[in-house]
Structures are given as structure tokens and as C-alpha cells.
Structure 1
Amino acid sequence: MSQVSTEFIPTRIAILTVSNRRGEEDDTSGHYLRDSAQEAGHHVVDKAIVKENRYAIRAQVSAWIASDDVQVVLITGGTGLTEGDQAPEALLPLFDREVEGFGEVFRMLSFEEIGTSTLQSRAVAGVANKTLIFAMPGSTKACRTAWEISSRRSWMPVRVRVISIHI
């Protein structure tokens, strides 16, 4: 088995906030993800806010995964159990491969922080057109947990392999 380099590789990231209430000024979770990505040395190439509508979510994410400018999409909001929480329904049809482990690890770590309330989270991740997509709850605390999972150095080799192969 060949060894994959764990050398840091800056990634081109797009950030999507799903909310009927938030605007650019009070998008604390989106700002957290943007600032964290930039502080880590990544390039935030686009940031948007869409309403809680599966087709609006799917349209924005589809544009990004069709673009060569975006390698990773981070989505905050829309992963709960209410009628408006439609991020998983918007994303799952787009995935070429689902990364089930992301949601599992997210809920495990969240359980340590918030207990059984984590059962309401439907955090998902997948690969679509060689683009990694992570969808997480809308709270800044949840985004911090998800960022810790998605930004670990162990993800860099996965990202490099995904981008360099045809799925």
C-alpha cells in the first residue's frame, strides 16, 4: 500500500448558510467557518446564504460542484428535524459517494457535549463530482465540532485522492 503525503495542501472552499432568519451581518456560523478556513491557510472562494428550501440548497451546491474553483463545500444549517431542515434531502441525491463516518463521528463528539440532543442532528458528508461536501447544524458550537473533524490533517490525503481520481 502506497503511503500518501500528509503535507498541508490549501483547499478552495465554498461556504453555504441555510437559514430563513440569518443575513450576512448575523451569520455567526458562516463567519466562524470562513475565519477558521482562512486562518488554517485555505482559500474561501465563495460564501452564500440560502433559504431553507431543498431546491435552493441543491441549486447553489450544484453550481459549486460543477465549478473547478471549489474543492470543498461547507454547509451550516438545515440538518435538524423540523420541516424546514432539508439539507440532507437536498444533498443526498447529488452525492456520488456518501461519507457516513462524518455524521457518525460528529454525533459521537456532540453527544459528549450536549447528550442525547445530538440525536436531532442529521449531519452528512459526501463526494460529488470530486468535491467534498460537509453539512452540519447551524449553531456555531456545532460548526466548531464539525470543523475539527473536517479539517484534520487526516482528511488532506482523502481530499487529494478524491480529487485526483474519477468517481
Structure 2
Amino acid sequence: MSRIDESRDFIPVRIALLTVSDTRTEDDDRSGDLLADRIRAAGHELAHRAILPDERAAIADRLRAWCADEGVDVVISTGGTGLTGRDVTVEAHRDVYEKEIDAFGTVFTMISMDKIGTSAVQSRATGGVADGTYLFALPGSPSACRDAWDEILALQLDYRHRPCNFVEIFPRLSEHRRRK
């Protein structure tokens, strides 16, 4: 079963946070605020924060820029994961991914099922890796962001989490680029 191994040192990671919305501003970005607060409370660094409209190319460009930034280890976006015509965050993420973390969406759906029942099928939360950086697309609701952070990301972004976590494999995310 998963646990925190107190004999290991905590390693903070640098996280960029993107809110995708045609209507949100810095003054009313409740999901972004919730995630920023949780990122800092966990001991991680909030490397960047931005709000972009639901425009696939602009979202993908921002994700790529943050993946290329040596000061960013993880990118979390919130918003634009639904089923409506303007919801393009998942497609933008997949434009950038080198590898998708399929189980992230599955586990998020399992957690959501316990809270909102079959309405969980309307979420397209996703995760992936690009350029040695983890990327996660979360729904725009504060409750969904809370669930994803508290029940998945807070644990997987903690080096002390056992039996395994995302932090311990950071050095190996780009090993395919090394010369043989």
C-alpha cells in the first residue's frame, strides 16, 4: 500500500500552472488559486502562472515553452477538459506529449466516481510527459482540482511516496535522447 517514507528527504519540484478559460481572470480564478495554494503548502515552487483562452495552438505553445524551460519540472493546467466545442485543452496537451500517462485519467475517473457518480464520464483529465517534463490537464472546477491534487498529484510529486513516485524517475524521462 502507498505510504510516505519519512526516512527520505522531501524534494521540491517546480510547477507551472495554467488556467484555460475564456472568462476567468486573476481576480476570480478559484481553481488556479486552489492549486497554487496547495502547490506552495506542499513545499513545491510555483514557477509560473498564467491564464489563456480556449485556443488550442496558444495552449500547446505555452505548454511547449514551459517544457523547454529548465526552471519547470511539472505543468498543471485547469479548465478546458470537458466535451463542449471550446474545450480543447486535452487536444493541446496531446499535441505536446511524447508519452501519455494513461492511468492518470483512469485513476482520476475512479476518484471522481466516488464523489459525482457517472457524471465522471464527462471529464477528460489527462497526463503525459514531454521534453522531460510532466504535464497534467485537470478539469476547471475547484472540487475536481482538489481531488486531483489531494488524491493523486500531492502523492506522486512527493519523493518520499512509496512504493514509487514521479519525482524519482525525473532523471530517466529523457534517457532516450542520450547517445549510445
TM-score by length of 2: 0.86
Give me the whole-angstrom Cα distance separating, in 1, the residues matched to 2:124 and 2:12.
28
Runs of 4+ in 1 over 4 A off after TM superposition: none
Match for residue 55 of structure 1 among 54, 57, 63: 57
Q: What's the counterpart of residue 94 of structure 1?
A: 96
In structure 2, the CA distance between the partners of 1:106 and 1:130, relative to structure 1 (3 Å rule), is same
The count of corresponding residues between Structure 1 and Structure 2 is 164
Kept in 2, the 8 Å contact 1:54–1:89? The answer is yes
Give unmatched runs, 5+ long, in structure 1.
none
Q: How far 1:144 sits from its partner (Å)?
A: 0.4
Q: What's the counterpart of residue 4 of structure 2?
A: none
- The question of 1:37 aligning with 2:39 is answered yes
Give me the whole-angstrom Cα distance separating, in 1, the residues matched to 2:171 and 2:33.
26
Q: What's the counterpart of residue 9 of structure 1?
A: 11
Name the SS of the counterpart of 1:151 in structure 2. helix
Give me the whole-angstrom Cα distance separating, in 1, the residues matched to 2:158 and 2:42.
14
- The question of 1:151 aligning with 2:159 is answered no
Name the SS of the counterpart of 1:93 in structure 2. helix
Q: What's the counterpart of residue 73 of structure 1?
A: 75
Q: How far 1:7 sits from its partner (Å)?
A: 3.4
Give unmatched runs, 5+ long, in structure 2.
1-6, 160-164
Give me the whole-angstrom Cα distance separating, in 1, the residues matched to 2:92 and 2:171.
22
Match for residue 82 of structure 1 among 76, 79, 84: 84
Kept in 2, the 8 Å contact 1:97–1:126? The answer is yes
Kept in 1, the 8 Å contact 2:11–2:158? The answer is no
Q: How far 1:6 sits from its partner (Å)?
A: 5.2
In structure 2, the CA distance between the partners of 1:23 and 1:45, relative to structure 1 (3 Å rule), is same
The structure with the largest alpha-carbon Rg is: 2
Kept in 2, the 8 Å contact 1:99–1:127? The answer is yes
Give me the whole-angstrom Cα distance separating, in 1, the residues matched to 2:129 and 2:89.
15
Name the SS of the counterpart of 2:80 in structure 1. coil
